[in-house]
Amino acid sequence: MQLLNHKKLHVVSGRATRDLAGDICHELGFPLGSPNIAEFANGEIHVKYGESIRGSDVFIVQTHTEWEGRSINDAIMEHLIMVDAAKRASAKRITVVAPHYGYARQDRKASGREPITARLLSDMFLAAGADRLVSVDLHSGQIQGFFDGPVDHLTAMPVLVDHLLELGGDDLVIVSPDAGRVKVAERYTNHLGADLAIVHKRRATDQKNVVEAKEIVGDVAGRTCVLIDDMIDTGGTIVAAAELVAESGAERVIVATTHAVLSGPAIDRLKNSAIERVIVTDTLPLPSEKQIDKIEVLSVAPIIARAISAVFEDTSVSEIFGGENLA
């Protein structure tokens, strides 16, 4: 008797990422599955897949964020429960797709008696039954080593670069908001044929999300300056850098970032800043109260869809990005 092994693909989504997951499935030409997520009266989450996923390659999409009155921790717990349910439903391979990976900034001990929560999160997904992790623009490349399995680190750079090319002109300067983002900023300069500038900053040691920009290295006077970062949270870092760039004589200040966290005072800070335009991606949902004229949203659905297709077909993911997604 000859046994035929037909690979089966299932893509499902948590409640925090349904719009993005729908766009991903549209790119794949494949329907979005239903995990039938419900809540008990006390808030406990229940998952039951609506169809058999036995022997399937299952991709579980959930970005780690607050949404509709729920916290980022609710999104993570929901993600873990979906992974566990898939494992117990005999999925052949389970891939966690977290466009925005939660707790990524807690990737090391900055001082004594602190956790490394990014590592804890990876361990939890592994314990739940995940075989593989896919994410976009991790805050730190070392997080790839936290998960004891294959990690596909995607980058939104191709989407952002294509959009920035439309700005045109020979006066473009890519500005790194701190020394830690210089390597990424240099990649943008290579693709855009732009110059590089760096903001030197000092972060307050006794307060969270408080940053004081100090000085800028590079020529920005009379130029169109694009600040590049992986995320905007409260907006303190990027607005302080933008103000410094503007004070140094920049003609235009534009921000390009992957993850629009936009917590607390972020929207007010962006509204009242020298920033002309904020270009973000849809790794995180943007609720109506955060949709202002300055913010422009680009989709990473095509990139994630290509990565899912490559993983399913056992082909190279890094070739999609020319190897520039590895750090």
How far is residue 131's CA from residue 115's CA, in Å, rounded to a whole number?
Answer: 24
Report H helices in 224-300.
236-247, 266-271
Q: Return the DSSP state at 70.
A: B
Among the options 8, 87, 201, 294, which is catalytic? 201
How far is residue 47's CA from residue 37's CA, in Å, rounded to a whole number?
Answer: 5
Site of tokens 């900034």: 105
| Cβ pair 257, 228 in contact under 8 A | yes
Cα–Cα distance list, 214 to 201, 246, 286, 303 (Å): 5, 13, 31, 36
Active site (annotated) includes residue 294:
no
Tokens for 83? 């992974």
How buried is 281 (Cβ within 10 angstroms: 0-12 exposed, 13-18 middle, 19+ buried)? buried
How far is residue 82's CA from residue 87's CA, in Å, rounded to a whole number?
Answer: 9
Please give the distance of CA 190 from its chain centroid, rounded to a whole number.
22
Site of tokens 């009155």: 69
How far is residue 100's CA from residue 134's CA, in Å, rounded to a whole number?
Answer: 10
Positions marked catalytic: 201
